[in-house]
Amino acid sequence: MDQSEILIAICGMAVVTCLPRILPALFLSGRRLHPAIARWLGFVPATVLAALLAPGLLCPEQKLMISFDNIFLVAAVPAFAAALFLKNFFATVAVGMGVVALARYFF
C-alpha cells in the first residue's frame, strides 16, 4: 500500500466520521424539535454509556460473571453510589478505579 492509498483511506474515514455529526447539525440548526423527540434524545447518552459498560461489568472474561469474584461488578456498586450522591463524573470514575485498585491489591 503506497502513500497515496493511505492518504485516500484517511480522507475517506474522516468524511465517513464527520458526516453523521455535521449533517444533523446543519439540518436541525434553527429548528425546534418536538418535545417528545427532544426528551427521547436526552436518553441517548445514558443508553450508549450503559451499552459500553455492561459487557465489561458483566462479562470481564468473555463469560457471564455475576458474583463477588467479579471485581468490576463489585466496584460498580460504590461507583454508582458516588454518582448518585456526588453527581460528579470524575469523582465517580475515581471511586470506581480506587475500589478496583484496592480489590486487586488486597485480593
Helix 44-58 / helix 71-86 crossing angle, nearest 10 deg: 150
Residue 58: inside a domain: yes
Residue 83: inside a domain: yes
pLDDT at 107: 84
Residue 62: inside a domain: yes
User: In which residue are the cell numbers 458516588 written?
Assistant: 82
Residue 102: inside a domain: yes
Is 0.75 topped by the overall pTM?
Answer: no
pLDDT per residue, tens digit, the chain (107 aa), is: 789 999 999 999 999 999 999 998 898 888 898 999 999 989 999 899 899 999 999 998 889 999 988 999 999 999 999 999 999 999 999 999 999 999 999 98
How many structural domains does the chain have? 1
Residue 39: inside a domain: no
Question: Residue 58's domain spans which residues?
Answer: 52-106
Residue 71: inside a domain: yes
Residue 3: inside a domain: no
Q: What secondary structure, in 3-state letters, does 34-97 show?
A: CHHHHHHHHCHHHHHHHHHHHHHHHCCCCCCCCCCCCHHHHHHHHHHHHHHHHCCHHHHHHHHH
